Amino acid sequence: MPATAVVLGQELRDLWLGGRALVLSLAFSLLLSAIAYLVATNRALNFLEQRETVNLTLQVAVAVGALLALLTAADAISGERERRTLESLLLTPASRLAIVAGKLVASLSLWLAAFAITIAYVWFLGRGVGIAGDALASGIVVGTLLAIFLASLGILISLFATSNRGSLSLSLFLLLALFAPTQLPSAATSGWAGDLLLRVNPVTAGEHYIGRIVVDGRGWSEDIAWLTSPLIAAAIAAALALAIGAQRLNLSGGASA
Amino acid sequence: MTPAVEAGGVGKRYGALVALEDLSFAAEQGEILGVLGPNGAGKTTAIRILTTILEPTHGSFSVAGIPHTRPAEIRRRTGVLPESAGYPERQTAEEYLRYQARLFGQSRAAARGTVDGLLEEVGLADRGRSLIGTYSRGMRQRLGIARALVNEPQVVVLDEPTLGLDPAGQRQMLAIIRRIADDRGATVLLCTHLLAEVEEICTRVLILNRGHVVAQGTVAEVAQQASAPRTATIRIAGEDNERTRTVLSPLHVESTGGMLRVSLDDVAPNELLRRLVEAGIDVRSYELEAARLSDAFLAVTGAAA
């Protein structure tokens, strides 16, 4: 079995049987339950349309699911360094690339689990208007691209971080920076500059694409251009994480990494 | 025969800081080479270079005949117990070792067999299914040794394997190390601060100081470099006292209550004894007070000053 698969298998066991991923998934479920309750209440009061309740829930699920992948990836290398278990891994003939790839893929399992949990909520909120299928399909595509993008960034930060706390803090800061434009008032995102800002940022572009399909009822291909930046960002970040990891994965981190 | 480990002019620099300079030595198959040095001498850097964790700035080395330009193959033939290694607290020893074995390319079935044998060998068979988090320091060190042997290595590198162990634990660890060399025929590089350990089990020693090799050879050869006096203490019949002094002239001889102490700086112990016997002197006892490795260590590292 290739070393990547061995590392992946062990990482999945550590994450899921070790309980860390289960706790995070439980917290995710509670959060989504609270969101679903709030949006369902608002819909009952006619403050929100049904499509908007689905959109809001799905966007939160994608954001938080990708966040879980990011945090897991950010801990993957700097955490092992801090626990002094990285050296025994580096002393095996497994290539640095295989180690990084195994850890990267394992961190994506958090997003997949989050999405699996999301299915029930989206189905429940979207029943009767026939949007659950499209919503889930757009959610898995956008969420997976964002999870790959963010988890790869997490791995890159973890590669160079000299402490695990630093890695997690920087990753969270980065995530907040990427999500900040989603909170801008619509006036701030109008015009060509606002449009460019939304399109260039993979997070806002992905969430916008989901909104177009779920709320506006647009077809898959009509706004496909909005997926460009998530797709490019995911591809570039993953390629960089693997290439740099293969060269620079070492014991000390920092500038020497 | 190709040495199991051979290094020529290996060095490591971090900018202007010289961590290791001109490390050159050879270790034969089955020998236990003690790597000594005070803190900051470059031992860990040397170990990390030889185990391919760090790349040398200059020089070259080979392990089991594999040049340093092929690090993955070196790792395949090397077992390492790093200094203060960490272990996954929530895994059992069996799980941890199986994972390591699989990273060395073993199948699930082969890994299971390897792990069972190793746990038996290091005396952890009855605790193999316990979480590592419940292990004592000594058990963790033995687990580390098992990890180092998971790939049937030709060269085993042990960095401070007895650190933090009580005397019984140290004895147990030394016995395991000796078995690695004797039974498995592996070459052991033993990095330690405990000179008594080195005198006891190492065939040769290498002393590093400030990144440089300052002494190497057998324990006896290195000990001879010590500045400490080496003497022979001879007990003879009282009437032979003056004649003995004449026979041994011009060597420096001190007389204390029927015992003569002779400096061995200018004569070999056997030559000294031969002279006495040939002169017909009644030698009732003959004891050598050799310099110890610790004397040599202090002398060559300048730590005695």
Q: Closest to B86 (Cβ–Cβ): which among A7, A84, A92? A: A84
**To the nearest whole angstrom, how far is the Cα of B52 from the nearest Cα of chain A?**
8
The answer to whether A120 and A52 have CB atoms below 8 angstroms apart is: no
Contacts with B105 from chain A: Cβ below 8 Å: 93
pLDDT in tens, B104-141: 999 999 999 999 999 999 999 999 999 999 999 899 99
Pairing of β B32-36 and β B187-191: parallel
The pLDDT of residue B246: 85
Please state the rounded mean pLDDT for residues B257-268: 78
**Taking 60 as the threshold, does the pLDDT of residue B55 lie above it?**
yes
Cα three-residue angle B5-B6-B7, rounded to 5 degrees: 125
The answer to whether A204 and A198 have CB atoms below 8 angstroms apart is: yes
Contact call for A93 and B73, based on CB within 8 A: yes
Q: How far is CA A119 from CA A10, A32, A48, A58, A148, in A?
A: 27, 11, 20, 9, 20
Q: Residue-wise pLDDT tens for chain A (257 aa)?
A: 689 999 999 999 999 998 999 999 999 999 999 999 998 887 776 767 888 899 999 999 999 999 999 999 999 999 999 999 999 999 999 999 999 999 999 999 999 999 999 999 999 988 877 888 999 999 999 999 999 999 999 999 999 999 999 999 999 999 999 988 877 777 777 778 888 888 999 999 999 999 999 988 888 888 899 999 999 999 999 999 999 999 999 998 876 54
Report the Cα–Cα distance between both ends of chain A, in Å, rounded.
28
Confidence of residue B304 (pLDDT cuts 50, 70, 90): very low
Tell me the residue type at B139.
Answer: M
* Spatial distance between the Cα atoms of A225 and A82, rounded to a whole number of angstroms: 42
* Of residues B156 and B276, more confidently modeled: B156
Residues A147-179 as b/e (b if ≥16 CB within 10 A, e otherwise) read: bbbbbbbbbbbbbbbbebebbbebbeebbeebb
Alpha carbons within 13 A on the beta-carbon side of A16: 14
The two structure tokens encoding residue B264: 């061995």
pLDDT in tens, B9-53: 999 998 888 899 999 999 999 999 999 998 888 999 999 999 999
* Spatial distance between the Cα atoms of A92 and A94, rounded to a whole number of angstroms: 5
What does DSSP assign to residue B92? B
* Spatial distance between the Cα atoms of A83 and A88, rounded to a whole number of angstroms: 11
Residue reference for tokens 């017909």: B280
The two structure tokens encoding residue A122: 């989206």
Q: What is the complex's ipTM, to 2 decimals? A: 0.88
* Spatial distance between the Cα atoms of B154 and B181, rounded to a whole number of angstroms: 10
Query: E strand or H helix at A177, and its extent?
Result: helix A164-179
Strand partners, B189: B33, B157
Q: What share of chain B is helix, strand, coil (3-state, %, to 5)?
A: 40, 30, 35
Alpha carbons within 13 A on the beta-carbon side of A44: 6
Nearest to B190 by CA among B221, B152, B156, B213: B156
**To the nearest whole angstrom, how far is the Cα of A61 from the nearest Cα of chain B?**
30
The pLDDT of residue B280: 87
Helix spans in B87-166 (H): 93-103, 108-121, 137-148
Strand partners, B233: B261, B287
* Spatial distance between the Cα atoms of A91 and A78, rounded to a whole number of angstroms: 17
The two structure tokens encoding residue A14: 């550590």
The pLDDT of residue B303: 61
What does DSSP assign to residue B61? E
Q: Closest to B84 (Cβ–Cβ): which among A3, A10, A84? A: A84
Of A36-40, B79-83, B190-194, which one has max mean pLDDT? B79-83
The two structure tokens encoding residue B241: 């006292």
Size of interface A-B (CB pairs under 8 A): 56
What does DSSP assign to residue A46? T
* Of residues B253 and A248, more confidently modeled: A248
Chain A positions with Cβ closer than 8 Å to B: 1, 3, 6-7, 10, 13-14, 18, 83-85, 87-95, 250-251, 256
Strand partners, B26: B6
The pLDDT of residue B251: 83
What does DSSP assign to residue B227? S
* Spatial distance between the Cα atoms of A22 and A69, rounded to a whole number of angstroms: 13
Nearest to A132 by CA among A216, A54, A57: A54
Q: Which pTM was predicted? A: 0.85
Contact call for B86 and A94, based on CB within 8 A: no
Confidence of residue B268 (pLDDT cuts 50, 70, 90): confident
The two structure tokens encoding residue A46: 């006619």
Strands (E), A1-131: none
**To the nearest whole angstrom, how far is the Cα of A107 from the nearest Cα of chain B?**
18
Residues listed for chain A: 257
